[in-house]
Structure 1
């Protein structure tokens, strides 16, 4: 066959490379055929060669006959065929640098049948390309070989071999039967008869059979022995679910320590930079094939350090190109899996590779692909079974890092730029609708319609918040991708839709990052109203993060833009939020001016909901300034409106504000009732900030009533839940906890807690809270009989109170200072 092929190629004036290109084969395949290393290529390969060589019908027939498997005269009974000698041990060598897989080996060895076993043991090892399936199977086979004295057979089924068709079950049985000594003349012509003869010849023997690189269960089922005492090891890139009774083992990437050890063994030279090896292993995705290829490159580049190779691999666009050595490459291994897919499954693989997030469900994938959710879910399940995706939770999929790079490279190569952008636009539209739907479940507003049928099933607040938390990082990545792709209107719209969730959960940094990306898009759009809207939300994020100067700048810029655009709504939002910023800084007069101006703006456009929210802000300004009657009147005016038309989160904040007011007036029972209402409301909405503030209020009421243990339990809950997302609440809880310890006589515990709270507020310019904490710390020093230190803190508190007009804390500081000076026999 090889000689004839070469004659036709030379006659046609073609090189091996040219023929390979025309026949869509590799140059290596052509060379192997002409040298006789491959004597019986698949029929489709012969047809491709004949077409490329433009052979006549007679020449085609001659070439096909030369490539066909020929029957030779039957040998005498019991003798091997002339073509294939009897084989007793055909296992390829076990890699001397085999590393890791300790748990997998232990699991498999425990399943190996003993000498008296009455069962057959089938171990099916599946995993993604390059995960080390064949290496592990061979290592296991060599460890078990002595237990199977009759034969140890290895057969590559070529499920995924370049330029080679998978071996059919019939052809595989023919090879196996020859290897155990069945003469050609006795080989059956039917698959069923071949399988029966195979099972018959294996009876009463103990054999180890390694079937490597299977394409599916149907390929290997006829090859399984029917008698006990055998061990069959099977490897495949597919989960072989149809192999009933088998031990199924799915290989994951290696652990970091094992990956580093394998790298060290393969590189075969001392590496001092162990941290560099750790980084390299991570860049290889802990995939054994990638690690071997990278380590081989490092071994043959003696001047390279791990850092040099890491710099090459860090470039995601070229990482797969770098992971190659000789004729082997990670990309080539992945490509074989990809080419085995149907057209529809290839399309899904490419398009989910375009997803900017990390993990996704079938609804997100359907939007990317433009297919139905049902069809997309089927495709995702197939990709997961083929180990091209990983399903880490029900209907939640992710890529191995290197497979994600492969999917994106393939999409760049096979999808037009317009289609890639359209896929991102579809997922943006989906996320905008899904976020709005989830928010409508948490905080329904009048006029909201029913959800579209292609959105995830979110029917209650718990589901909505779980969905949001799952998608949180993906949504941020999607906004950034939209800005980068200049899908600006959708970037701004999605950022706007995300604001309520960021507000509910306190993820201020996420909110900041989302709005920064959206601001670039809004400015590119040239839409002043949209830009002002984004600036308000960016300023709110800065406010939460304690970056108050930035927040003020953004609010003032938003006001200017909103006025220029004639957007009363956005101007009102900016002015109202600027008032809230002033209130938090203790600038109560300015806060009142801004909030009254915002109230006029909202009422001028008939926005009762925002007007009511602004009234709540005014009530809180009045409360902090000691204007309790006006505060209660504002709460009473706003609450019925908020309860009727929302937003629901503000209902809880109203209860909380009234609780603060009643506590200030010494009406502790009424304060307790309002804080309880606020707590239940916040918990029903998954409003973390509202829940923390309500718990803090309840703790302070318990403290005021002398219930110190109950107060500590509530305050500790606040501290456990607040962390860095709500630093101001944490500071309030710390100073309140310290006050309880003072009441219990534990001054040594109290003072450091006050100091910790001061350290938090010092970086946030929260003057009113700072004054409160200073007074609390001074009280602690007085209780500990340290009047000089107390006087110093009271004086600091007075300075802040004078600056911001905080009357009740000023009175407290003056009274405390007088007592401190009297006790220390000093003078003011």
Structure 2
């Protein structure tokens, strides 16, 4: 890559041993701190370009001691983050091991959104795990709570529900201990997601509404939008479709006002599902297509699979099984790539229905079994079409 260089392993080792032999511990620590500050400051600058509405949650970086990297466009910010991502994760782990937990925790917070939407899940798991442990050793309760919240959300997104519940439970206890209401609300929202996916709508609704009250009290509008969307999804599960539309429309307006594109896109997907339930099949398809355009414009790689599944379900409702087959096939590939096990299950379910409609009972049975196996492994409450899966078998 132009302008970037790497050391040969022997040269790197020689530089390390020479520095240890010829430089004092204080000098080496000063150099390391300067590098860490540069990485943190530039990461925050890149995220300010990509997600300006998230500034209030990001750490305040130190004043520059070196010339800043010029990042003024989304393309420049994304390019820098992608090029430096291995170095960012490596320095965060090194800082945690060297007793500098504040840097690890702050970088994990700053990078959370980027790693999420670009599906760098292994890097996120490494980063948040080290941040949580480093903060725990240092007695930084707030920092540990933030890292556990992000780690719990990652576990939930990938279908590791027991691990998610454990991490989120610890984070909730920490936030209540420190009195950080916005942090408590974020955890309640994630717990709402977890309970909803596991088929406990009443429990999910209680968590979402608790989060909504706290977000409104703290004036965190993006959190308020997420809570409203969550309540809308619970109402959809309960077949209260008009009420679901009202809550999701409120969330969509808030996200658009804030310019929060990922939230806007995921809410459009959810509106598409509700419109399909109401028999508004063309409207459902239109909402999913809007969502896909936003995800692709802003490179939300981790969320494309949900949209393709929505497109497939809308196409099947419109009597277009070939289009449904193509959409669910794409969704299955993408979900496997990013490790989204719930969406893999949903895609397999969609493929079973598509093959059945296209007159291929063997493939329909194959994918139906695959979907049921996924749902069983995840411990998820399967969607309303589950009875149809059993019929296919």
Normalising by structure 1, report the TM-score. 0.45
Aligned ranges for residues 529-548 of structure 1 at < 5 Å?
Answer: 529-548=142-161
Which shows bigger deviation, 505-514 or 593-602? Answer: 505-514
Structure 1 equivalent of residue 20 of structure 2: 412
How far apart, CA to CA, are the structure 2 residues paired with 1:412 and 1:540? 40
Show CA shifts across 1:502-528 (max 9, x none): 220223332221111001221233232
Task: Say whether residues 1:778 and 2:386 are aligned partners.
Answer: no
* Pick aligned residue for 1:503 from 116, 132, 141: 116
Structure 2 equivalent of residue 163 of structure 1: none
Structure 2 equivalent of residue 748 of structure 1: 362
* Pick aligned residue for 2:282 from 669, 673, 696: 669
* Pick aligned residue for 1:615 from 216, 228, 232: 228
How far apart, CA to CA, are the structure 1 residues paired with 2:54 and 2:344? 35
Instruction: Rate the CA distance shift 1:455–1:663 in 2: closer, same or farther, 3 A.
Output: farther
Aligned ranges for residues 711-750 of structure 1 at < 5 Å?
Answer: 711-725=324-338, 726-750=340-364
Structure 1 equivalent of residue 313 of structure 2: 700
Q: Is the 8 A contact 2:272 2:285 kept in 1?
A: yes
Show CA shifts across 1:382-417 (max 9, x none): xxxxxxxxxxx2112112222221111111112222
Q: Is the 8 A contact 1:428 1:494 kept in 2?
A: no
Q: Secondary structure at the match of 1:666?
A: coil
Aligned ranges for residues 195-274 of structure 1 at < 5 Å?
Answer: none
Aligned ranges for residues 42-441 of structure 1 at < 5 Å?
Answer: 393-441=1-49
How far apart, CA to CA, are the structure 2 residues paired with 1:420 and 1:497? 25
Q: Secondary structure at the match of 2:5?
A: strand
Show CA shifts across 1:627-655 (max 9, x none): 11211111122222211124321011111
Unmatched runs of 5 consecutive residues or more in structure 1: 1-392, 782-828
Q: Secondary structure at the match of 1:454?
A: coil
Structure 2 equivalent of residue 709 of structure 1: 322
Q: Secondary structure at the match of 1:623?
A: helix
How far apart, CA to CA, are the structure 2 residues paired with 1:435 and 1:574? 24
Q: Secondary structure at the match of 2:154?
A: helix
Task: Pick the structure with greater CA Rg.
Answer: 1
Which shows bigger deviation, 491-500 or 605-614? Answer: 605-614
Task: Say whether residues 1:766 and 2:374 are aligned partners.
Answer: no
Q: Is the 8 A contact 1:599 1:611 kept in 2?
A: yes
Instruction: Rate the CA distance shift 1:563–1:473 in 2: closer, same or farther, 3 A.
Output: same
Structure 2 equivalent of residue 526 of structure 1: 139
Show CA shifts across 1:317-352 (max 9, x none): xxxxxxxxxxxxxxxxxxxxxxxxxxxxxxxxxxxx
Give 1:756 shift: 2.3
Which one has more relative contact order, counting CA pairs under 8 Å at least 6 apart? 2
Instruction: Rate the CA distance shift 1:669–1:560 in 2: closer, same or farther, 3 A.
Output: same
Give 1:656 shift: 0.9
Q: CA RMSD in A?
A: 2.2
Q: Is the 8 A contact 1:509 1:545 kept in 2?
A: no
Show CA shifts across 1:692-714 (max 9, x none): 22222112211211222222222
Q: Is the 8 A contact 1:461 1:686 kept in 2?
A: no
Give 1:419 shift: 2.1
Q: Secondary structure at the match of 2:52?
A: coil
How far apart, CA to CA, are the structure 2 residues paired with 1:502 and 1:521? 20
Give 1:447 shift: 7.3
* Pick aligned residue for 2:51 from 429, 443, 466: 443
* Pick aligned residue for 1:599 from 188, 212, 218: 212
Show CA shifts across 1:33-61 (max 9, x none): xxxxxxxxxxxxxxxxxxxxxxxxxxxxx
Which shows bigger deviation, 502-511 or 409-418? Answer: 502-511
Show CA shifts across 1:438-457 (max 9, x none): 222222228799x9793434
How far apart, CA to CA, are the structure 1 residues paired with 2:180 and 2:19? 42
Normalising by structure 2, report the TM-score. 0.92
Tell me which stretches of 4 or more aligned residues in structure 1 moved more than 4 Å: 446-449
Task: Say whether residues 1:475 and 2:88 are aligned partners.
Answer: yes
Q: Which has the higher strand share?
A: 1
Q: Is the 8 A contact 1:603 1:611 kept in 2?
A: yes
Structure 2 equivalent of residue 344 of structure 1: none
Q: Secondary structure at the match of 1:395?
A: coil
Q: Is the 8 A contact 1:532 1:561 kept in 2?
A: yes
Give 1:557 shift: 1.6
Give 1:687 shift: 0.7
Give 1:671 shift: 0.7
Q: Is the 8 A contact 1:489 1:522 kept in 2?
A: yes
Unmatched runs of 5 consecutive residues or more in structure 2: none
Instruction: Rate the CA distance shift 1:470–1:766 in 2: closer, same or farther, 3 A.
Output: farther
Aligned ranges for residues 622-701 of structure 1 at < 5 Å?
Answer: 622-701=235-314
Structure 2 equivalent of residue 577 of structure 1: 190
Show CA shifts across 1:141-187 (max 9, x none): xxxxxxxxxxxxxxxxxxxxxxxxxxxxxxxxxxxxxxxxxxxxxxx
How far apart, CA to CA, are the structure 1 residues paired with 2:213 and 2:15? 55
Q: Is the 8 A contact 1:508 1:544 kept in 2?
A: no
